[in-house]
Amino acid sequence: MKKLFVKTFGCQMNVYDSERMKDVLAPTGYMPTDSLEDADMVILNTCHIREKASEKVFSDLGRLRKLKDRAAEQQNRQILIAVAGCVAQAEGEEITRRAPWVDMVVGPQTYHRLPELVAKADPISRLSVVDTEFPTEVKFDFLPEEAAPRGPSAFLSVQEGCDKFCSFCVVPYTRGSEFSRQAGQIINEAKRLVAAGTREITLLGQNVNAWHGAAPDGTSWGLGRLIRELAEIDGLPRLRYTTSHPLDMDDDLMSAHRDVPQLMPYLHLPVQAGSDRILKAMNRRHTADDYRRIIDRLRTFKPGLALSGDFIVGFPGETDRDFADTIKLVADIGYASAYSFKYSPRPGTPAAGDEQQVDAQVKADRLAALQQLLDAQQMAFNKTCEGQQMAVLIHKMGSRDGQVTGRSPFMQSVYLKGDHTHLGKMVTVTVKEARQNSLLVQTGKRPQQMKSEENVA
């Protein structure tokens, strides 16, 4: 039996895709391994979103070359190397030119063809194959139904690609245009995940709330309806979805936060910036006040909803005043957590060619100021949880012996005493103390099974 090592960069969609690549290759005799040294095939599933992310790929490829040469010289063993994901899509043949020891380059929409590519690639004659077209067939129709169990918390891609074309972003080019999977296919995949032990499903899409799918009843559903249907699955106490665009937040989806107890009270809704001038230049197609109104409305449906966001500082032309608007917006909203980045010019995107690039030091200073505020908000939110009872899903082993990791409804990490028998269990805890990135809970008790999430406030 041959061994497959997959390294994943980037977003949750890549995490999902990596698992599916393993599923696709399993029937051809490749079994996943966590040890790079044992691998007969290595896949780097890459991310192109910022320069740093994509440069990492080439430094990894340098190391893989040595591994490959050593295996060939010392053990007469050929290691296949594949580059998948968004860098593969963006760079295509440039990768095999810069790194001729790469055997396969495969894009996010063609990885269902990996078995054919493996058959074609020939590491001895160094014949590499590149498949980065946007195919007419839909990969989801060709991925095997049999899948390895994903554990207590799993991702499920329901939507791919993006037609929004924010002027800083590579995703519309690397993932292609918006596509929604059929509702029936999604429900079946969710049921299979639950049957294999998954207790929390996060629906994924670049624009997940733009999902609209042909439904089994012959009509077309939106994401709110899909969530209501998935909530009918027995044994699935938790649902989440990410990432959403403010403009696609419709009333049916917002009210699902009120109506569906399985839908967790946490929403990642990126706004990127607080200045209307910058939002316009970013081609976000909404103003800062549009975003405020959406959040207000969401909070009428679900008071106590924890919010998360993404921010870019130093977008071309951003002045101190524009940045002050971002700080103001953050102060108005109050985030439970957030991600913030320095603007990184990406090849082929409109903003990269803008002449008014912001000085590196200014970007660094703004990022530090924004992060200070976001960190303070996160800590303040975590503090509000002190003394509260909440349900925690134990989803993976902890980094220390005798410890397991769980997640609160609001996505906070909770560490508990326990072992592998507790994975997938839902426990009620009382929060003792808030930390920046986690909650400390009353210890001493071993986790016990809880009946349903609805038992807790």
Maximum separation of any 2 CA atoms in the chain, in Å: 66
CA–chain centroid gap for 334, Å, is: 22
Residue 343 Cβ vs ligand SAH, minimum distance, rounded to whole Å: 5
Residue 164 binds to ligand SF4 (criterion: CB under 6 A): yes
For ligand SF4, what does the binding mask look like between residues 209 and 228, x meaning CB under 6 A?
--------------------
C-alpha 404, offset from chain centre:
22
Residue 214 parent element (H or E)? strand 212-214
Beta bridge partners of 396: 405
Applying CB under 6 A, which of residues 8, 54, 89, 206 lies at the interface with ligand SAH? Answer: 206
Q: What is the DSSP letter of 262?
A: T
Which residues in the 46-105 window bind ligand SAH by CB under 6 A? 49-50
Minimum CB distance to ligand F3S smaller for 86 or for 129: 86
Pick the binder of ligand F3S from 3, 4, 10, 30 (CB under 6 A).
10
Give φ, ψ of 212 to 5 degrees. Answer: -150, 125
Q: How far apart are CA 44 and CA 384, in angstroms?
A: 41
The residue written with tokens 């670049």 in the block is 206
Identify the CA nearest to 318 among candidates 287, 354, 292: 354
Crossing angle, helix 288-301 and helix 251-259, to 10 degrees?
30
Does residue 329 sit in helix, strand or coil? helix
Question: Is there binding between residue 47 and ligand F3S (CB under 6 A)?
Answer: yes
Using rule CB under 6 A, residue 171 touches ligand SAH: yes
* Residue 165, contacted partner among ligand F3S, ligand SF4, ligand SAH, none, CB below 5-8 A by kind: ligand SF4
Answer for which of 245, 302, 346, 422 binds ligand SF4 (CB under 6 A) is 245
Token pair listed for 438: 């986690």
Instruction: Fill in the per-residue mask, 266 to 295: x = in contact with ligand SAH (CB under 6 A), - = not in contact.
Output: ----x-x-----------------------
Q: Which stretch binds ligand F3S (CB under 6 A): 138-146, 149-157, 171-179, 307-315?
A: 171-179
> What is the C-alpha to C-alpha distance for residues 139 and 54, in angstroms, rounded to an integer?
24
Q: For ligand SAH, which residue of 48, 150, 245, 302 counts as binding (CB under 6 A)?
A: 245
Span near ligand SAH by CB under 6 A; candidates 80-88, 119-127, 144-152, 337-345:
337-345
> Can residue 162 be called a binding residue for ligand SF4 (CB under 6 A)?
yes
User: By CB under 6 A, is residue 341 in contact with ligand SAH?
Assistant: yes
- The distance of closest approach from Cβ of residue 208 to ligand SAH in the complex, given in angstroms and rounded to an integer, is 8
Residue count at the site for ligand SF4 (CB under 6 A)?
A: 10
- In whole angstroms, the minimum distance from the beta carbon of 301 to ligand SAH comes to 21
CA atoms within 13 A on the CB side of 200: 24
* Distance (Å) of CA 413 to CA 13, 206, 294, 310, 378: 21, 24, 27, 20, 13
Least distance (Å) between residue 157 CB and ligand SF4: 14
**Shortest Cβ distance from residue 358 to ligand SAH (Å)?**
12
Q: Which residues contact 108 (CB under 8 A, 6 or more apart)?
A: 13, 14, 17, 84, 85, 86, 88, 89, 160, 174, 175, 176
In terms of CB distance, is 57 or 374 closer to ligand F3S?
57
From 4, 5, 6, 13, residue interacting with ligand F3S (rule: CB under 6 A): 13
Q: Is 374 in the site for ligand F3S (CB under 6 A)?
A: no
What is the secondary structure of 268-303 as a DSSP string? E---B-S-HHHHHHTT--S-HHHHHHHHHHHHHHST
Binding footprint of ligand SF4 on the chain (CB under 6 A): 162, 164-166, 169, 171-172, 206-207, 245
Binding footprint of ligand F3S on the chain (CB under 6 A): 10-11, 13-14, 47-49, 85-86, 170-171, 174-175
